[in-house]
Amino acid sequence: MKNNEIELKLRLRPDFLFKLSANLESYNNYSQKQQTLINTYYDTPDLALSRQKSILRIRKIKNQFILTIKLAGQVTGGLHSHPEYNIDLPDDKLDLTALQKKFALTLPCKQEELSPLFQTNFTRKLWLIPYRAAQIELALDEGEIISPRASEKDIICELEFELKEGKPIDILSFVYHFSSDNGAMLSATNKATRGYWLALDNHAQMDDYLAQWEKVLTLPQDQQIPAILAFEQDIVENAWRLGKTYFSQDFTRTVQLISAFFNLYTYITDVKMGQYLIANLEYLAPEILQAFSPTLVHDFASFNQYAYQQIQQIMQEHSQDRNNDKAVQALWDWLYCNVQLKRLIIEMLIVLNEKNKEK
């Protein structure tokens, strides 16, 4: 089977799971099930698949084995879209020939070059939920990523929303209304990418946030909104991967991270850029605005102003007390804040609407 998978991922704090239970109980009348998934990922010694931004895995669900290849796609904020090809296998033996024959795929490697690299093993609770004219599959995943190459493991605690039927706007609207609790952030990093990091002991480096921001500012205004969204998500993913300790151990790193968000939020609340963002929202069709909130335009302006106030307070307190731990924790709390999640979803809505107008 071939499809174009469209999904949105949320990274969860463990304490959010307790708050989440009430939300999930409201969906108990819908189709639901629980699965244990064992996923083995393959690549060549020179990472031929990874270099093409493709992943190859065998998934075991009870006595069923599914071979899947996902090809390079797009990520808009936390919204993932990519081609995916699946076939059933009789057992857990890799059979690349069957996949290529069925879909006429040309892959950058031969089967004999492939070997297991890592596993993602987790329990998945599923709900299939009708929403507007759409069908959305909600998946709560809890488990771990392991590799024979690594002595440690990586913890999985995330929520995925996959669009089974409908339009991308439906999934954004659903997540926008899903919860008002803090503890979830958009994630642009999938389990496979995290598996590669673990297996290859691929330590992150701190990005040059200032240089990245200066590139955004050189773009024409009509290209800046998707660039702003990508820039913020890149900062978040880089900071999350490095971890709080990496920043709290060093005053300069803490300042650079806070400054990256301060530069961004100062810019989007500036009169000129702020009005441009609001204008893009006001041009949305009335039915789109209604799918989110009649006050969406006002809410977005308020969310952006709140973001600026939060980062300004963190910066001021850090410059006074030079307490890295306190500043980094405050920043992490903001990144998991529901207001932050909602404002990023609105930015994603603007970007998707612009892409649709270009088609």
Residues 6 or more apart from 277 whose CB is under 8 A from it? Answer: 225, 268, 300, 304, 350
The confidence score (pLDDT) of residue 310 equals 98
Superfamily of domain 2-200: Hypothetical Protein Pfu-838710-001 (2.40.320.10)
Q: What is the pLDDT of residues 192-207, one digit of tens each?
A: 999 999 998 877 889 9
What crossing angle do the helices spanning 296-321 and 251-268 adopt, rounded to 10°? Answer: 150
Task: Give the torsion through C-alpha atoms of 205, 211, 217, 223, to 10 deg.
Answer: -40
The confidence score (pLDDT) of residue 1 equals 55
pLDDT beneath 50: ranges in the chain: none
69 vs 4: CA distance, rounded Å: 12
- Single-letter residue type at 235: I
The confidence score (pLDDT) of residue 330 equals 98
The confidence score (pLDDT) of residue 326 equals 98
Q: What is the pLDDT of residues 26-50, one digit of tens each?
A: 776 777 789 999 999 999 999 999 9
Determine contact, residues 277/351, Cβ cutoff 8 Å.
no
User: Hey, what are 202's tokens?
Assistant: 């691929």
- Single-letter residue type at 359: K
User: Hey, what are 243's tokens?
Assistant: 């971890």
C-alpha separations of 93 from 116, 199, 209 in Å:
11, 21, 44
The confidence score (pLDDT) of residue 81 equals 79
The confidence score (pLDDT) of residue 2 equals 55
The confidence score (pLDDT) of residue 305 equals 97
The confidence score (pLDDT) of residue 122 equals 97
- Single-letter residue type at 30: Y
322 vs 327: CA distance, rounded Å: 8
The confidence score (pLDDT) of residue 358 equals 58
User: Hey, what are 78's tokens?
Assistant: 């936390």
R_g of the chain computed on alpha carbons: 21
Determine contact, residues 113/44, Cβ cutoff 8 Å.
yes
Neighbours of 120 (CB within 10 A): 25
Q: Measure the N-to-C terminal CA separation of the chain; round to a whole number of Å.
A: 26
Phi/psi at 28 (nearest 5 deg)? -65, -20
C-alpha separations of 125 from 30, 31, 36, 157, 158 in Å:
12, 11, 9, 12, 11
